[in-house]
Chains A and B, each alone.
Chain A
């Protein structure tokens, strides 16, 4: 790691620590949330900071910084990356905005881009939206690749609150060559409060074939919600076009299924999902059933059971998971989670992969949160492992989370 990179990480750490020791005040325009997770496996953390100017409400900024520690075969030290760091100017009257800095751009049906650059959104009268972005794709660890750039946009149209549709385009160049070039279309419909539908599809301009497509229709009536969905994804076309593995041809994977949720009783929720998957001559499927019983009317505590079966393309296993979460008081909470997975074909990986976690968490009214846990597992990769986890979170200038948070 270069001196410059280390300096940036050190500066981010100093900033995070300095802000964490600032005095909290509800009316502050600055909001900070810092989460540090310490594991015996590898310590990592996220620092989320956002700021608004009350005198200039059209201006805001936010950043998410990821921090971690290196080890294993690498020299012991600190590592990190800025996931987002952007400034946004927004016109409240029209909803138009301009964001600059590091951001994740998801625009219509084309694939997301992690970008150092600019994104603009302009709303015209009549529900028309024009979006555009351009910049340099982010490379891990503050590095840059020469001659890399990406650009794209979306033209969208809303029809009242009933429908939104749009067309999008994105191109990415790597080393001076076309790496990805996609066009996409998207549609969202809410013809009635109980009915929603959405679809998107992307087309690879270089391979002249679809990349991926998703569609979903859901209905909700009182305590029952049902959804049917289908996805069509071409793994080879999701790779950069400069990759040799992108030329193997179209072996797209298609999945079609349904999900149903039923609040059978005020405190009991049942969820079931099933899908059929097809890829080439492979046919398989997945299924999941889950029951969650709340221990109080606010759903602050709950117990749950989940069963899952996966049978597709050499991945064949059954699993069961049990969870329990119980608030001991307004400040303390205990939770446990147990999972058992049995592969159909162990292939030297063990016949059963158990995993368990027990946690206790404490939250103070001033914004501090501390949680610790023990995680134990026997799996194909680690054989037996026991890890301790600890998380320290601090929210500054942000109202603490209250009320129902699950399911």
Chain B
């Protein structure tokens, strides 16, 4: 093998190893799962190290062994650092701490019912490759039939405060993919399921119908959070509105929201400084112009400026007998009284 080929091979292997680390294929930290299996095979019971766990209640210490407990048997440690630096992973200890904070769980009540056995729940402890030691919720449900609580969304028997726990559901709903777009259709049938974890304020902080709420601006330091108004939305908002007709109105007040902001800033929608007229020159002509088609495609844009008293501008031409002609689209139907109800009577008044 030529030296050049050898060098290229070496570089390729090093690059591959670097990519593997970068993509998470090979964790870079030195921590490894604690050797529960080898201790168990050596005949060491769980409570030998996790002393006092059988009497642990809802609160109190976590019963994770200190290095002093390890050196009771391992009398000649191979490293001066605390054993937990490498043996056991920090995320499993964090899971323990979070479980203590968020769950109502008493080992004292569970251990006797399982004959002192820990593995029926902590099955992962018997495996050499553990990713987590905390039993999944399905493990709890294998004994506890919480059908009634599930039906009534009564989770407080086990979860101290689910909304503040910010738990990601494991299977029954998905918050993956483009959930910001998806959540509306799902919430229609299962709003009470959403309310299990999300309080009223969670929805209101985005769906501020009467106020300009703060969907993403409060999270400006977290760019990975998705949202409808992220980044340079102010620059592209008119194009966004045009490409999704009606979407803005699902949150914003169609008749005031746009006008309030544009009037406040003295800006028109078509650039060109502070001109208040946003329309191009051929917008309204003797034979119609562009405005009719634009109004039918996106009537909300018209209503955002010309709503309320501004509608008189349209009625001037589009009244019955006026030069503007019939503005109704094909198949137009309405249950309103033509001569009595608004807005019909604006044009059809006898």
Contacts and interface: CB of A to CB of B under 8 A. Distances in A.
Bound together: yes
B281 to A, nearest CB: 13
A353 B303 contact: no
A286 interface: yes
Contacts of B263: 73
From B224, B226, B247, B306, name the one whose CB has the most chain A CB atoms within 10 angstroms. B224
Nearest to A184: B188
Contacts of A127: 151
A328 to B, nearest CB: 12
A186 B188 contact: yes
Nearest to B307: A243
Contacts of B204: 64, 83-84, 103-104
A310 to B, nearest CB: 5
Nearest to B236: A341
Contacts of A108: 188-189
From B203, B220, B247, B328, name the one whose CB has the most chain A CB atoms within 10 angstroms. B220
Given A64-B205, A266-B25, A336-B223, A379 B234 contact: yes
21 contacts: A31-B164, A50-B199, A83-B208, A93-B152, A95-B153, A107-B191, A123-B152, A178-B341, A184-B188, A193-B171, A206-B334, A218-B182, A225-B177, A239-B254, A245-B303, A255-B244, A312-B242, A314-B242, A335-B223, A381-B271, A399-B102
B235 A66 contact: no
Given A64-B204, A282-B297, A302-B224, A246 B343 contact: yes
Contacts of A212: 246
A138 B25 contact: no
A349 B271 contact: yes
A363 B105 CA distance: 30
A348 to B, nearest CB: 5
B176 interface: yes
Contact of B207 (A112, A279, A302): A112
B115 interface: no
Interface in A323-348: 323-325, 333, 335-337, 339, 341, 343, 347-348
Interface of B: 22-25, 27, 29, 91, 94, 98, 101-102, 150-154, 156, 164-166, 171-174, 176-178, 181-182, 184-192, 199-201, 203-205, 207-214, 217-218, 220-226, 230-232, 234-236, 238-240, 242-247, 249-250, 253-256, 263-267, 270-272, 295-300, 302-303, 306-307, 311, 314-315, 327-336, 341-344, 346
DSSP majority for the B interface? loop
A218 B256 contact: no
Q: Sorted from nearest, which 5 A-B pairs have the closest CB atoms?
A: A249-B329, A95-B152, A355-B232, A379-B235, A267-B24
A293 B19 CA distance: 12
A235 B245 contact: yes
A interface residue count range (under 10 / 10 to 19 / 20 to 34 / 35 or more): 35 or more
A371 to B, nearest CB: 4
A9 to B, nearest CB: 12
Contacts of B166: 401, 403
B235 A355 contact: yes
A389 to B, nearest CB: 6
A391 to B, nearest CB: 6
A238 B254 contact: yes
A343 B188 contact: no
Contact of B218 (A37, A68, A208): A37
Contacts of A389: 217, 220
Contact of B189 (A93, A111, A121, A188): A188
A399 B167 CA distance: 12
A128 to B, nearest CB: 11
Interface in A234-290: 234-236, 238-251, 253, 255, 259-261, 264-268, 271, 273, 277, 279-280, 282, 284, 286
B188 A317 contact: no
B245 A253 contact: yes
DSSP majority for the A interface? strand
Given A62-B201, A188-B189, A317-B239, A220 B232 contact: no
A377 B233 CA distance: 11
A103 B221 CA distance: 29
Contacts of B272: 348
A10 interface: no
A193 to B, nearest CB: 5
Contacts of B302: 245
A315 interface: yes
B307 A259 contact: no
A161 B232 CA distance: 41
A267 B24 CA distance: 5
A100 interface: no
Contact of A247 (B176, B246, B328): B328
A140 B186 CA distance: 28
Given A123-B151, A239-B249, A313-B297, 7 more contacts: A72-B265, A139-B210, A199-B185, A229-B185, A245-B307, A259-B177, A379-B232
Contacts of B102: 399
A239 B299 contact: yes
Contact of B164 (A72, A205, A399, A405): A399
